[in-house]
């Protein structure tokens, strides 16, 4: 494995305190934006932008484990990233999350 590929490898990155937000929250790691969501069974992470056009999903409506994009109304399953309804056709990326002693970590590339 070369130095470049090692640098881009995902790793656990601390991004927030679990008490920092009620429902959803945008975080930035390197140059990328991610959305955190607090659901009944834990904290989840997806890409911040809708897969249809740019629209921040952390500002969307969160209901029943789904996020509604406010721009054109697509819905996504937060746990899987699956598209629930149009106009988006591409899923959103999801990322592993762990919470340790109140700190939220996401498993992403640090750059
Ligand atoms: S930007 Fe999200 S549905 Fe169009």
Q: Which of 8, 18, 15 is nearest to 48 (CA)?
A: 15
pLDDT in the model for residue 111: 79
CATH code, domain carrying 32: 2.102.10.10
Whether 60 is covered by a domain: the verdict is yes
pLDDT in the model for residue 49: 98
| 8 CA distance to ligand 1 middle (Å) | 29
Whether 1 is covered by a domain: the verdict is no
CA dist., res. 71 & res. 64, Å (int): 19
Range(s) of the domain holding residue 41 = 23-108
> Is residue 1's pLDDT more than 90?
no
Do residues 98 and 44 lie in contact, with contact meaning Cβ atoms separated by under 8 Å?
no
> pLDDT (tens digit, 9 = 90+) per residue, 79-99?
999 999 999 999 999 999 999
96 vs 7, higher pLDDT: 96
H or E element: which one contains 19?
A: none
Q: Which two tokens stand for residue 52?
A: 């249809």
Whether 66 is covered by a domain: the verdict is yes
CA dist., res. 78 & res. 30, Å (int): 22
> pLDDT (tens digit, 9 = 90+) per residue, 13-41?
999 999 999 999 999 999 999 999 999 99
> Is residue 3's pLDDT more than 90?
no
Total domains in the chain come to 1
Whether 11 is covered by a domain: the verdict is no
> pLDDT (tens digit, 9 = 90+) per residue, 48-91?
999 999 999 999 999 999 999 999 999 999 999 999 999 999 99
Query: Which numbered atom of ligand 1 lies nearest the CA of 51?
Result: 2
Whether 55 is covered by a domain: the verdict is yes
CA dist., res. 54 & res. 74, Å (int): 12
User: Which amino acid residue places its CA nearest to atom 1 of ligand 1?
Assistant: 53
Residue with tokens 């945008």: 26
Whether 81 is covered by a domain: the verdict is yes
DSSP 55-103: -BGGGSEEETTEEE-TTT--EEETTT--EEETT--SPPPEE-EEEETTE
């Amino acid at each position: 494995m070369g130095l470049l590929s090692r640098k881009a490898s995902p790793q656990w990155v601390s991004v927030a305190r679990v008490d920092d937000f009620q429902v959803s929250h945008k975080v930035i790691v390197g140059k990328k934006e991610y959305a955190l969501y607090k659901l009944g069974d834990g904290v989840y992470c997806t890409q911040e932008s809708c897969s249809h056009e740019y629209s921040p999903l952390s500002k969307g409506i969160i209901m029943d484990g789904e996020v509604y994009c406010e721009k054109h109304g697509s819905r996504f399953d937060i746990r899987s990233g699956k598209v629930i309804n149009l106009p988006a056709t591409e899923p959103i990326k999801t990322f592993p999350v762990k919470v340790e002693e109140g700190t939220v970590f996401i498993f992403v590339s640090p750059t």
